[in-house]
């Protein structure tokens, strides 16, 4: 099945301020995806944007690449039938103040035999 990145963008919220029901709902996402015919293959939470470093050529700056209200807070990779199926699966992700982006992942070059 094709793979898709699900990028989670949220307003920065200290971990301790995330509502417990949202944390619980995040824990339920893998099972919901599987029940809906998809597969979660990897997932990661990101540290705050202030912990990031951005590289543009030889220049390194502190902070996220873009200074916006909602920052990348995590991402996961799913397998889904197609982009529409991936979007349906991404709707399981609980959001406090932000949204998700679903992006198809390109396949690598064929392996040599």
pTM of this structure: 0.85
Q: Percentage of the chain with pLDDT > 70?
A: 95
* All structural domains of the chain with their residue ranges: 3-104
Tens-digit pLDDT profile for residues 40-67: 999 998 988 888 999 999 999 998 888 7
Residue the block writes with tokens 């339920």: 28
**Looking at the chain, how many residues does it have?**
113
Residues contacting residue 60 through CB under 8 Å, at least 6 positions apart: 53, 54
Q: 27: helix, coil or strand?
A: helix
Q: Tell the CATH topology of 3-104.
A: Alpha-Beta Plaits (3.30.70)
Residue 4: alpha-carbon gap to chain centroid: 10
Question: Which pLDDT band, with edges at 50, 70 and 90, does 68 fall under?
Answer: confident
């Amino acid at each position: 099945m094709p793979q898709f990145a699900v990028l989670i963008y949220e307003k920065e919220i200290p971990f301790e301020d995330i509502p417990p029901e949202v944390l619980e709902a995040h824990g339920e996402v893998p099972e919901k995806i599987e029940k809906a015919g998809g597969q979660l293959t990897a997932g990661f939470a990101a540290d705050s944007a202030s912990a990031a470093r951005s590289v543009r050529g030889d220049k390194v700056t502190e902070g996220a690449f873009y200074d916006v209200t909602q920052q990348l807070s995590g991402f996961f990779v799913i397998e889904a039938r197609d982009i529409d199926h991936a979007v349906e699966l991404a709707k399981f992700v609980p959001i406090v103040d932000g949204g998700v982006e679903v992006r198809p992942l390109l396949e690598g070059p064929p392996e040599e035999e």
